[in-house]
């Protein structure tokens, strides 16, 4: 039963991931990404990490991918008529990243088959309390650094988006009238 559900979601994740990369219409790609993320969330639940699953749905499918779609629709990205002429650097980068990922997978498979014991998925690793404790003790510094990184990204985005001569709709008086 559990294996069947796992296989179903695993196949769904792989199939939708292929659609993400292969589909010509960016809106379909993004919506397939939603399916991929939801099926991996289901796999997290089956692996006994429901908190990570809930976070994945809440943050990735609920907010980040919505932003992707939002940008695609605002920029009115059209269906790709033919395969884009990829620039050479991008191609090499993709090949390198793919090789690195395949290497990681191979190492994991080798460890599994060579019988190297994996760390058990104990409650103090995946439970809410356990996660919170390790996040605020052992991983305190990386946690703070990620916060700083996000702050820097937000500041940079604000600076880039805000031209000095732009009209700030937010601070306009109520009586200014007209369409914003």
Task: Tell which one of 15, 127, 130, 134 touches other proteins (CB under 8 A).
Answer: 127
153, two tokens: 């990204």
Nearer residue to other proteins within complex by CB, 66 or 104: 66
Query: What is the rounded distance in angstroms from the CA atom of residue 49 to the CA atom of residue 83?
Result: 39
Give the range of 13-21, 53-61, 104-112, 152-160 binding other proteins by CB under 8 A: 53-61
Spatial contact of 1 and 35, defined as CB atoms under 8 Å apart: no
Q: Is the sign of the CA dihedral 79, 83, 87, 92 positive or negative?
A: positive
Chain positions 71 to 90 lying near other proteins, rule: CB under 8 A, are 73-74
Q: Which of 32, 64, 39 is nearest to 53 (CA)?
A: 39
Nearer residue to other proteins within complex by CB, 27 or 46: 27
Kindly state whether residue 54 participates in binding other proteins, applying the rule CB under 8 A. Answer: yes
Cβ-in-10-Å burial (0-12, 13-18, 19+) of 28 comes to middle
Kindly state whether residue 128 participates in binding other proteins, applying the rule CB under 8 A. Answer: yes
Chain positions 142 to 171 lying near other proteins, rule: CB under 8 A, are 169-170
Q: Which of 124, 107, 131 is nearest to 52 (CA)?
A: 131
Smallest gap, in angstroms, from Cβ of residue 71 to other proteins? Answer: 10
Under the rule (CB under 8 A), what is the footprint of other proteins? Answer: 27, 31, 34, 50-51, 53-55, 57-58, 61-63, 66-67, 69-70, 73-74, 127-128, 169-170, 172, 180
């Amino acid at each position: 039963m559990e294996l069947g559900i796992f296989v179903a979601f695993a196949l769904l994740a792989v199939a939708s991931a292929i659609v993400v990369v292969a589909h010509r219409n960016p809106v379909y790609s993004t919506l397939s990404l939603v399916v991929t993320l939801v099926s991996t969330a289901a796999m997290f639940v089956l692996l006994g990490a429901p908190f990570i699953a809930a976070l994945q749905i809440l943050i990735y499918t609920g907010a980040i991918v919505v932003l992707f779609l939002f940008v695609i629709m605002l920029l009115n990205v059209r269906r790709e008529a033919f395969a884009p002429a990829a620039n050479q650097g991008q191609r090499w980068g993709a090949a390198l990243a793919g090789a690195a990922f395949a290497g990681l997978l191979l190492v994991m498979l080798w460890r599994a088959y060579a019988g190297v014991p994996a760390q058990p998925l104990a409650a103090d690793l995946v439970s809410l309390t356990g996660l919170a404790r390790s996040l605020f003790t052992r991983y305190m510094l990386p946690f703070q650094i990620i916060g700083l990184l996000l702050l820097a990204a937000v500041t940079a985005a604000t600076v880039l988006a805000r031209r000095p001569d732009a009209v700030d709709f937010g601070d306009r008086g109520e009586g200014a009238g007209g369409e914003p």
